[in-house]
Amino acid sequence: MIDIRTEMLLDAISDALSLPPAATGNGAELRARLERRRTVAVCAAIDHARSTGDLAEAIEELDRALHDLPLCYQPVPGDRPSLSVVSGGRA
C-alpha cells in the first residue's frame, strides 16, 4: 500500500499526462507539443522527488509548471498554425 503523498504525486502525474485526443491532423501536432512540454514537467518533478525525497514539493513543482502551460492547444486560423490557449484555459 502506498502512502498519501505518493498517491498524490502519482495522481498529479496521471493528470499531467492525460490529454484529450486531437480533433484534426493539425491539432495532433499541437497536442504532441503540449504532451512533450508536460512530460518535461513530470520528469522534473520525479527527479526532484528522487533527489530530495520531498514528495510534497515535487507535487508543488509539477503544479507550478503545469499552471504555466495552457490546458490544451487549438490552431489559430491563418497561414500557419500557432499555439493558443483555448477559452477556459490558463492565461
More confident residue, 79 or 64: 64
Res 33: pLDDT: 87
Whether residue 9 contacts residue 49, with contact meaning beta carbons closer than 8 Å, is answered with yes
Res 25: pLDDT: 75
Cell readout for 27 is: 491539432
Taking only the tens place, the pLDDT of each residue in 8-61 is 999 999 989 888 777 777 778 888 888 999 999 999 999 999 999 999 999 999
Res 13: pLDDT: 94
